[in-house]
Structure 1
């Protein structure tokens, strides 16, 4: 231990020690100087111990010399520091697992779930909806014409199912839903005969020599209330929801109504047509033509 202390003292006076050790003739003087240093500290050091310390310094004893790099050294260091490296490796492995899991769930799994949802929609959900609406519409339909209309619409939707055309199937469902609402409608088409309001108008199309005749009408429900209707104006092809419109009629129908009103200013026969439950079309009391106007 004392020899090690001598070496440590020499290290703290490295410039002196290096200089003295380079000259063998002055090693004795170095030994004496070391003895004086220890004597000043109240420590008696035998000459043999001092000489052994000097020799140890020359031989690089008590000095740690790192092992040169090698596979064995690397493996040994990894083993010594295995806890820290294990935590790091675990974190990397966890990140990889989470990353792969997220990709699998959100990307691969998402695509699979989307495909499965689309399969269920076209093979289960939409067919069930088409069948249900078809049954409802047929139950509401009364006339052969109404049943034929339902069959036509349902047939288009079923054909779209067969070719897996989702957009066309949904369009068919919308149409079936609309025809069910139409079948349930009940109202009368009545000619407007209130004071200060016109009951009929006529138009002179620029490209025709003959006139177009219209009776101003409204749809009145079973409760006596006027029902708004979606009407397409044949003059500009715009469709709007209105409470009254001009229904195109032959001149003979127009003249008949005009004569009725001219008698006493009142139209006795105001009902122009009737929409019954279970029908898809209005049953007209007087002859009418296809076409309507919403402005006059």
Structure 2
């Protein structure tokens, strides 16, 4: 057992001792005069006894001595804590009603900004990066290889096989450079090339009412020179009109069309014009054929054999 239990203090005695300390503290002159030396404690106790007796309060000498000793030992004195992190945190907690609403407001604003930034920028960027990675490592390589294999199998000449190799090499370079745009362009070019090689059709001259069957245009290089074109459609074996990729020789661009102009000798142009003039119907309306495995049609109409033809998509 400790001394506390061996010498118990009654609550009344403790309260009286605290009151004694308070009385001494309120009489600073008394403390300065009588607490200056240990020898004069008895005089201080006598004086305190007289103060309490005047108030009709009987205080035991032991309690008075206890109060005097408590004052000397600063038992009931308040010592403010030393400044530090704990005191600062305690002060913040005490003043929380002042700063907590502001903290919640700032936290809400910060959270909202963070959410908007994530939803509007971070997450889309992550998805785009993931999509780009899949395109470069899976989708585009697979599409490029498939188109190349198809074109290589269909190509009927060494020149066309070499063209397939070149397009495939362009696609591989773009993938190595991690350039999605160039890789997609290479894939599209190779797929279009394979589709063109796979097509077979007959070029039939258009002879419908109120539609042009032919046109002649001034050469872009020399206005004194005229080029003659017959307007045709690509017809498959079932009689369906096909969409075909045609490179316009004037604008040097490839377009997907259902009708296009084929440059022919003037003599062939004049003969077809005369054929249509009598009854608005062209009897000899087959201009040429496109074989599967080749990229360009060949002229089969009489008078145009071995003619280096060209095409237009606008007239």
TM-score, length of structure 2 as denominator length: 0.60
> Which of 272, 275, 294 is 1:260 aligned to?
275
Determine the structure 1 residue equivalent to 2:293.
278
Shift of residue 280, structure 1, vs aligned partner:
1.8
Shift of residue 263, structure 1, vs aligned partner:
5.5
Q: For 1:65 and 1:119, locate their aligned partners in 2 and report how far apart those are by CA, in whole Å.
A: 71
Q: For 2:165 and 2:154, locate their aligned partners in 1 and report how far apart those are by CA, in whole Å.
A: 14
> Which of 152, 164, 168 is 1:153 aligned to?
164
Q: For 2:161 and 2:258, locate their aligned partners in 1 and report how far apart those are by CA, in whole Å.
A: 27
Q: How does 1:64-143 map to 2 (within 5 A)?
A: 121=136, 129-141=143-155, 143=156
Shift of residue 269, structure 1, vs aligned partner:
1.2
Whether the 8 Å CA contact 1:31–1:50 is kept in 2: the answer is: no
Determine the structure 1 residue equivalent to 2:236.
221
Matched position secondary structure for 1:157: helix
Whether the 8 Å CA contact 2:232–2:260 is kept in 1: the answer is: yes
283-292 or 269-278, which moves further after superposition?
Answer: 283-292
Determine the structure 2 residue equivalent to 1:28.
46
> Which of 243, 246, 251 is 2:258 aligned to?
243
Whether the 8 Å CA contact 1:186–1:275 is kept in 2: the answer is: yes
Determine the structure 1 residue equivalent to 2:28.
18
Whether the 8 Å CA contact 2:24–2:30 is kept in 1: the answer is: no
Shift of residue 199, structure 1, vs aligned partner:
2.1
Determine the structure 2 residue equivalent to 1:188.
202
CA change 1:250–1:66 in 2 (3 A) is same
Matched position secondary structure for 2:146: helix
Matched position secondary structure for 1:197: coil
Matched, 1:56 2:56: no
Q: For 2:211 and 2:139, locate their aligned partners in 1 and report how far apart those are by CA, in whole Å.
A: 51
Whether the 8 Å CA contact 1:4–1:62 is kept in 2: the answer is: no
CA change 1:214–1:119 in 2 (3 A) is closer
197-206 or 265-274, which moves further after superposition?
Answer: 197-206
> Which of 258, 269, 290 is 2:310 aligned to?
290
Q: For 2:135 and 2:204, locate their aligned partners in 1 and report how far apart those are by CA, in whole Å.
A: 48
Can you give the 5+ residue segments of structure 2 that lack an aligned partner in the other structure? 1-8, 35-42, 87-121
Whether the 8 Å CA contact 1:10–1:17 is kept in 2: the answer is: no
Shift of residue 57, structure 1, vs aligned partner:
5.0
Whether the 8 Å CA contact 1:260–1:266 is kept in 2: the answer is: yes
Whether the 8 Å CA contact 1:202–1:212 is kept in 2: the answer is: yes
CA change 1:14–1:157 in 2 (3 A) is farther
Whether the 8 Å CA contact 1:272–1:285 is kept in 2: the answer is: yes
Shift of residue 16, structure 1, vs aligned partner:
4.5
Matched position secondary structure for 1:226: coil
CA change 1:240–1:157 in 2 (3 A) is closer
Matched position secondary structure for 1:203: strand
Shift of residue 265, structure 1, vs aligned partner:
4.4
Determine the structure 2 residue equivalent to 1:202.
216
Determine the structure 2 residue equivalent to 1:87.
none
